[in-house]
Each structure stands twice: as structure tokens, then as C-alpha cells.
Chain A
Amino acid sequence: MKLIKILYLALLLFVSNATNAQDLMSELDSVPKEKQISSSAFKALQICNMQSTKLPAKGEFYFLVTHRFGDLKYGINNFFGLDNALTKIGGIYGATNWLSLGFSRHTYQKTYELAAKYKLANQQENGFPITIVGYNTMDINSELKTDLYPGLQFKNRLAFTTQLLISRKFNNSISGELAGIYVHKNLYDALLDQESIFLVGTAARCKLSKRLSANIEYAARLNLPEDVTSVYHNPLTVGLDIETGGHVFQLVFSNSQPMNDVAVFSNAGGDWSKGSLYFGFNIYRVF
């Protein structure tokens, strides 16, 4: 029910804007134009760390390699982070035009991540104003060992995110995204972490040239306990997309070194105000 309510609210917002902008009389007079699906709001499947509302077409397979280097604040000591990089490698398959399935393996906590992304609505020219996409991930932490954690059960290894992504392509160069995000961990640190976190995410893209675009994304955690100062920060990431035929290459600066959604949204350890940042890149190759 909550989901439907949020959907409905988002719709109302956009629709009321649209009606204000148009003269009702002229709407009556005009001949209905043919509705076409707008081209996707973001060029890549990801904005920086967050997911965009783009999905692979049916039958397309994306191969994905991403890196985040170590903390930049240590400078030459760890060669600006090159000494301890994290890697994620995986694939995303378009099962239908509106559903894609992903699988990846990540250095951080030796995580296996399963993902499903499904399109609920498309932005149309002269029609529906926004694109709505749902995204779910399930992480399996394969690093935990029963030697260290005698009480470990398989379900303790799992963590989840549920995300509702709403994007709008305002014109050829500017796109925006709004996201409702829920993170749930089956195992968490009682002193440093939380079982469940709700976030509101925002992201924007600005096209700079035919092959270049700049991206920014931020998510605010909504339910931090009042009596604890969180050791983590809200994730803030800026990036640059470079398109080269068949590849999308994304350079990013983020305050989260891990790249799986659960960790990005709940365990961003870096702090922009202290220069504690992680540089890295995402590479997508489509087959």
C-alpha cells in the first residue's frame, strides 16, 4: 500500500505541474499527437553508484567491471588509493524489455549480489511524464566464517535493498531522478549500524557534449536513531560518463568505497568535508 501511495503522490506532483503549464482550452482543440517512448533519461544503467531508470533491451547482455580505489586522503602513501582497490565484476541480462536480471561478485565482504530491475512505466513524448522503475538487490556475504561467528546461519549472510526510481528527461541535456530506497540487513553491528534504513535519493545528469555527460547523486538517510552519532555518511557521488562505441565508461568520485547498493546506501565511510574520497570507474560493455 505504501508503494502505491508513494507512486500516486509522485504522479500527482508531476501531473499538477503539467496541467498548470498548459492551457486547457488549447488542449481541447489540439489533435491528439502520437505518443512515443522518450529516449532514456540516463545513458548508462547506473548513474554513478545508484541505478538509473535505463534497462537493457530484450536479449541484450551487459558485462560490467567496476573499481573503487582506496582513500584519497592518504595521498602518495597509498599512491592515491591505487594500493587497495575494490573490484566488482558481473553481468546484466535483459529477459524482456521491461525486466532485467543481474549477477555480480564484489571484493567487499566477498559479496555475491543478485539484482532485478523492472520497468513500471515509460516517459512518453506528449504522454506520460515520467519513467518509473523498480529495483531489488539481494546480497550474499560469503566472507563470514563460522570459526569467528559460531552462531552464524545462512540467513545472516543476506542483505536487501528495495528501490523505486522515478526519472524525467526534461530536455535533451538535463535529466533528473528521484528514488525511494529501503535497505534491510539480516545481520548488522549493534554498535555501529542499523537493521533497516530508509533513504530518499536524488540524481541529475547534464549532457556536456555528444559523448560526455556529468552526473551527480545524493541520498539522505531518514531514520537515524537520535541518541547515536552515525559513523557513516550520506552517500554523495559525482561522475563523468564517456561514451565510446559499445562501451560506457564512467569516472566517479564517491564517499563510498564499496559498490554494492546495500553498502553504498548504509555504510558510506568517506567524508567529503574531510577529503576522504574514493576515485573509481564503471565500465559497461554490451553484447
Chain B
Amino acid sequence: MDLIFIEFFNKIVMKKVKIILMIMVGMVFFSCDSTTIQDIQPIVANPKYNSNIKPIMTAKCISCHSSNGQYPALTNYAEVVDAIENGTLQCRIQNSCGAIMPPSGKLPQSLIDMVNNWKLQGYVQ
């Protein structure tokens, strides 16, 4: 069995390592930084709850923040507005107070800006 190991590693190390290394270096070179679709999209000038804000809550918040889950619930218009007006939603997603939300990582800046903008424009439904 030892022989098989030695044979095998000799084979790989001697003959093919160069090409494999080249491919790996290539991968690292190309794949170092990623962007989100939201970051390269045009800025949404007039964000609305149903078409812009709700999808963010659905994808990133309500699996925990629902009526029987974490406080505050974020499942409908009134709850989200309340969490911004009387809660810490805005500074949590900006990572300027408490633990960052969502815990899987900061939202793309364009989405954070969208939430801020939505507040400024008076929470359009």
C-alpha cells in the first residue's frame, strides 16, 4: 500500500502540479471580490413598501422576526414602520448600534440607502 501512495504522489507532484497551480492562481486572481446585483443597479428614486422594502424583509428578516419569533415582528407595513420610528431597525442594519442585522452580514449599501430614503419620503406604501 505504501508503494501506491508514493507512486501516486510522485505522479501528481512531478507532472501535473504546475498546471493545477496555474488554474488555482487564475481562480484567485479572478474571484477575489464579489459584488451584489443590488449594488450595480440604478438607485431606486421613490422606494415603495410593497415593491422595494417588503422583498428585503421577506428575504432577510422574517425568518426570525415574525409574530411568534424575535422582537420586533417585521411581517407587514405597520410593523416595519414602527420598528424604524420607535425601534432600532435603521441603526441595526447600518451597524451603528447593537448587533448588526441581519446576522449573516451587512446588506448591500444600496439597500440600506433605500430604507433610509423610504423613511425620508414618508413611508410610501
Contacts and interface: CB of A to CB of B under 8 A. Distances in A.
A228 B4 contact: no
A160 interface: yes
Interface residue SS majority, chain B: helix
A188 B108 CA distance: 11
Contact of B59 (A11, A160, A162, A191): A191
A169 interface: no
B34 A185 contact: yes
B27 A162 contact: yes
Interface stretch (B8-16, B79-87, B90-98): B8-16
Given A138-B30, A155-B30, A191-B56, A226 B37 contact: no
Interface string B63-99: 1100000000000000000000000000000000000
Interface in A170-193: 184-192
Contacts of B124: none
Given A149-B41, A191-B55, A227-B103, A18 B8 contact: no
Contacts of B56: 191
Given A118-B16, A160-B30, A192-B59, A127 B36 contact: no
Given A121-B12, A191-B38, A15 B60 contact: no
A184 B8 CA distance: 30
A216 to B, nearest CB: 29
A195 B37 CA distance: 11
Contact of B37 (A118, A120, A155, A188): A188
Interface in B30-71: 30-31, 33-42, 55-56, 59-60, 63-64
For the side of the interface on A, what is the size category? 35 or more
B120 interface: no
Contact of B36 (A98, A184, A190, A196): A190
A184 B103 contact: no
Contact of A150 (B40, B108, B111): B40
A118 B19 contact: yes
Nearest to B30: A158
Interface in A98-152: 98-99, 116, 118, 120-121, 127-128, 134, 136, 138, 148-152
Contact of B63 (A11, A192, A196, A228): A228
Interface of A: 11, 15, 18-19, 98-99, 116, 118, 120-121, 127-128, 134, 136, 138, 148-153, 155-156, 158, 160, 162, 184-192, 195-196, 225-229
Given A127-B4, A187-B40, A228-B102, 20 more contacts: A11-B5, A18-B1, A99-B19, A118-B20, A120-B11, A121-B11, A134-B23, A136-B27, A148-B41, A152-B40, A153-B40, A185-B34, A187-B34, A188-B36, A189-B36, A190-B37, A191-B111, A192-B59, A195-B34, A227-B104
13 contacts: A19-B1, A121-B12, A128-B8, A148-B42, A151-B41, A184-B27, A186-B34, A190-B37, A190-B111, A191-B111, A196-B34, A227-B63, A228-B60
